[in-house]
Amino acid sequence: MAGNWLEAVELTSSGRPVLLPSEIECSLLSAVDLECEDLPNFPNLKSGILTLTTHRLLWVSDSSSQGASSAIPLASISHIFSAKKSLKSIFASPRIRFQLSVSPDGRVSNSGSGSRSVVVTMVVRGKGADLDVFLTKFWDNWRGRAWETGNADVTSGSESVSGSTSSGLYTKEGTVRMVGVSGILRKEQEMWETTDKSLQDAFQDLNALMSKAKEMVMLAEKMRQKLLSGSTSQPGAAEDEELGSKQEMQDWLLSVGIISPVTKESAGALYHQQLSRQLADFVRLPLERAGGMINLIDIYCLFNRARGTELISPEDLLQACFLWEKFDVPVMLRKFDSGVMVIQNKSHSDEEIFARIKTLATKPDALRTGISASDAAITLGVAPGMAKEHLLTAESKGFLCRDISPDGFRFYINLFPEIDPNNVYLVKDYGVYDTWLKVASASR
Amino acid sequence: MQKLGDYKLPQFFNYPPYFTLQPVRDTREKQIQLWKELILDYCRTQKIFVIGLEEDFPLFSNPVIERSLSHEAREAFLSILVSDGRAEWLDKRHRKCLILWHRIQEWANIILNFVKENGLEDSVMTVEEIRSGIESRGTELHGIDRTILMRALKLLEQKGKLAIFKGTTADDEGVKFSI
């Protein structure tokens, strides 16, 4: 970590920074070094991804997803130097310099009222980054002072929601932040603020709506806290009604979305990489509900629904999934022999599925008439299309074999290995062949 | 136990996947092996020499479980028999298959034994006599497929055990043994 000089950034399991409430990503730069000559104990921050948000500058090491990370609150920046246009700067890597106020012991203070000032240099080694655009956004965000309004929200929020942590609608594990309503609202607000001030009066109603929406978001947060505490503290005493409403709430919360979706605009060249990480964070919850494996198409729908207006193309989704191989994320893309692609947990085991399929296929009814994809879907609790993939995989492993007849496509437990080709009339009086024979002859 | 005429069928004849060509390699190999044994054994006991793929063949369907082999499966099983030397296609379009439950060499040995047992070492017989004459009655040669018999005789001719001489018609073809 970055020593005691800068505070560390909390990272999700896929290596994306956990954002503060109402914090939004604005721009990303790759291969950025942070240097400070004024401080001897300044950490070694070489070649990382720098994320500019409305609240902070986040530096995350490039080399590994769980590596070093540091955050500089924009509040602590006292001055941003404009870029020097000299002959030398044409050949060297572009640099952005800004002044930080720090406390006497060398810590970056959040308030921006530190006693010392140090100059930090950002060296951008990455190619193709549009530095001017970044600098403009940097200035805008610094001047925008979004953290001041944000802080006010948090304080008022924690007053109404007694005992809630200040992490707001965000969970520490980095699961989906379900405050898309507020995300959309914020966008609305930004647009609205940039339009002519004279229009403000005409939009009094919108203001009123917004304050109502804020209450709604607060309510959502309250419900969520309740859900979280309920699911951990008393799972045994859960009544049916409460369970039902919980389910409903979770469905509802799931559908309200992602507050700060990664976009091409904000991430630029790092788009797919960042999208990939965000997707990895996102799929955890749907995966859990789907039993560890979920169809790519389903995820596409859920993900885009969560993103609201910032839709991604199927191609982008596929790209993002392919990139998982390069990151240390707990999920993976899997392609079945039939070409169907699914997302599954890395810990997901086919063995368990096979065991359940085998149990199903050796039940008396199944021995007699075989099992269909829908039978397996009911037992495994997955969609029939997915169940069929499992059955086909089990078949390819030799656990099952198929029967195609006018009645349809069914699977039977594989008896072929138990039959002795040198004595076709022999039935060992143990094993599944014998069981099948008893069941089959009893039915006739 | 289920029977086909007087033929005793194995238990797995009622196993529905037995009648669907299995796509997985290991399973398919075992299935093919079981079909090969069954076809050869059935043909041997029933004295069947030719299987027509487009005709009804009792072994290829099971009315009890309402399953029958597809044309593709029939051809696959017979093709394996052909590649094992236990069958031969009689036409290019693979509609008729000659089943060799004895290989040609084995048939040739059977003919030699038959000749020796009947003391025919230096005599002359027509081909028809070998297939349906009094001497062959009760032996495996009785009712043998003409194509197989001619192939076996030709093999013996190459080895100098006999001479085939042609008559005016196919019925007149004869052999002179010289063992």
| DSSP state string for A259-272 | SS---HHHHGGGHH
The reply to whether residue B34 touches residue A396, judged by beta carbons under 8 angstroms, is: no
Domain that holds residue A57: 25-145
Residue among A404, A406, A421 whose CB faces B34 most closely: A421
Size of interface A-B (CB pairs under 8 A): 71
Window A:329-388, CB contacts with B under 8 Å: 370
> Which residues neighbour A142 within 8 Å (Cβ) at sequence distance 6 or greater?
A74, A77, A80
CA distance A180 to A381: 29
In the predicted structure, residue A232 carries a pLDDT above the cut 80:
no
A1 in any annotated domain? no
Residue from A1, A154, A166 nearest A70 by CA: A1
Chain A residue with the nearest C-alpha to that of B10: A425
Split at pLDDT 50, 70, 90, the class of A3 is very low
Residue from A391, A364, A399 nearest A375 by CA: A391
| Chain B residues lying within 8 Å of A417, measured CB to CB | 30
| Chain B residues lying within 8 Å of A415, measured CB to CB | 12, 15, 17
Count other C-beta atoms under 10 Å from residue B53's C-beta: 17
Residue among A416, A437, A440 whose CB faces B27 most closely: A416
Domain count along chain A = 4
Give residue A309's pLDDT.
Answer: 81
| Chain A residues lying within 8 Å of B23, measured CB to CB | 395, 402
A141 and A167 co-located in one domain? no
Residue with tokens 């001030």: A197
H-only helix segments in A92-145: 131-144
Where a domain ends, among A322, A345, A368? A345
**Contact present, B60 and B69 (Cβ < 8 Å):** yes
Split at pLDDT 50, 70, 90, the class of B138 is confident
Q: Is B34 in CB contact (< 8 Å) with chain A? A: yes
Where a domain ends, among A114, A145, A176? A145
A332 and A397 co-located in one domain? no
Give residue A203's pLDDT.
Answer: 55
A270 and A206 co-located in one domain? no
**Contact present, A89 and A53 (Cβ < 8 Å):** no
CA–CA–CA angle B5, B8, B14 (5° rounding): 100
Mean local confidence (pLDDT), A54-74 = 76
Residue among A370, A417, A444 whose CB faces B16 most closely: A370
A4 in any annotated domain? no
In the predicted structure, residue A245 carries a pLDDT above the cut 70:
no
Length of chain A: 444
CA B72 to chain centre: 21
Split at pLDDT 50, 70, 90, the class of A85 is low
Residue among A395, A405, A437 whose CB faces B16 most closely: A405
CA distance B52 to B116: 35
Which residues in chain B are classed under CATH 1.10.10.570? 3-99
A288 and A312 co-located in one domain? yes
A283 and A221 co-located in one domain? no
| Chain B residues lying within 8 Å of A433, measured CB to CB | 11-12
| Chain B residues lying within 8 Å of A424, measured CB to CB | 10, 12, 34, 37-38, 41
Q: How deeply is B30 buried, as exposed, middle or buried, from its count of CB atoms within 10 A (0-12, 13-18, 19+)?
A: buried
Give residue A95's pLDDT.
Answer: 80
ipTM of model over 0.95: no
pLDDT tens per residue across span B53-90: 888 888 999 998 889 999 999 999 999 999 998 898 98
**Contact present, B72 and B21 (Cβ < 8 Å):** yes
CA distance A60 to A120: 17
Start-to-end C-alpha separation, chain A: 73
A19 in any annotated domain? no
CA distance A382 to A347: 18
A215 and A311 co-located in one domain? no
A34 and A109 co-located in one domain? yes
Residue from B50, B35, B145, B36 nearest B81 by CA: B36
A339 and A406 co-located in one domain? no
- Give me the architecture of the B3-99 domain, per CATH: Orthogonal Bundle (1.10)
A285: domain CATH number? 1.10.10.10
A70 and A138 co-located in one domain? yes
Chain A residue with the nearest C-alpha to that of B35: A421
A312 and A355 co-located in one domain? no
Count Cα atoms within 13 angstroms, Cβ side, for A367: 19
Give residue A4's pLDDT.
Answer: 55
Q: Is A419 in CB contact (< 8 Å) with chain B? A: yes
Count other C-beta atoms under 10 Å from residue A353's C-beta: 21
Residue among B15, B41, B64 whose CB faces A415 most closely: B15
% of chain A at pLDDT higher than 70: 68
Please, what is the average pLDDT of chain B?
87
Residue from A79, A111, A123, A99 nearest A39 by CA: A99
In the predicted structure, residue A173 carries a pLDDT above the cut 50:
no
**Contact present, A400 and A392 (Cβ < 8 Å):** no
Q: Tell me yes or no: is domain B104-177 CATH 3.40.50.2300.
A: no
Q: Is A428 in CB contact (< 8 Å) with chain B? A: no
Give residue A161's pLDDT.
Answer: 36
A293 in any annotated domain? yes
The reply to whether residue B33 touches residue A421, judged by beta carbons under 8 angstroms, is: yes
Split at pLDDT 50, 70, 90, the class of A352 is confident
Mean local confidence (pLDDT), B29-51 = 91
Helix or strand holding residue A391 (H, E): helix A384-396
A130 and A200 co-located in one domain? no
Split at pLDDT 50, 70, 90, the class of A249 is low
A127 in any annotated domain? yes
Measured in angstroms, the CA of A396 and the nearest CA of chain B are apart by 6
CA distance A311 to A320: 14
Give residue A164's pLDDT.
Answer: 35
Helix or strand holding residue A300 (H, E): helix A296-307
The reply to whether residue B16 touches residue A398, judged by beta carbons under 8 angstroms, is: no
Q: Is A438 in CB contact (< 8 Å) with chain B? A: no
Residue among A403, A415, A444 whose CB faces B20 most closely: A403
Coil vs helix vs strand at B87: strand
Mean local confidence (pLDDT), B8-29 = 92
**Contact present, B124 and B176 (Cβ < 8 Å):** yes
Q: Give the pair of three-digit tokens for residue A294.
A: 């979920």
Q: Is B83 in CB contact (< 8 Å) with chain A? A: no
**Contact present, A259 and A306 (Cβ < 8 Å):** no
Q: How far is CA A304 from CA A21, A188, A361, B86, in A?
A: 21, 19, 38, 61
Count Cα atoms within 13 angstroms, Cβ side, for A424: 20
A182 and A216 co-located in one domain? yes
A183-192, A344-353, A396-405, B138-147, range with the lowest pLDDT: A183-192
Measured in angstroms, the CA of A378 and the nearest CA of chain B are apart by 23
The reply to whether residue A412 touches residue B17, judged by beta carbons under 8 angstroms, is: yes
Give residue A28's pLDDT.
Answer: 82
Which residues in chain B are classed under CATH 1.10.10.10? 104-177
- Provide the Cα torsion B55, B59, B60, B62; round to 10°: 120
Give residue A199's pLDDT.
Answer: 54
Give residue A86's pLDDT.
Answer: 59
Count Cα atoms within 13 angstroms, Cβ side, for A49: 24
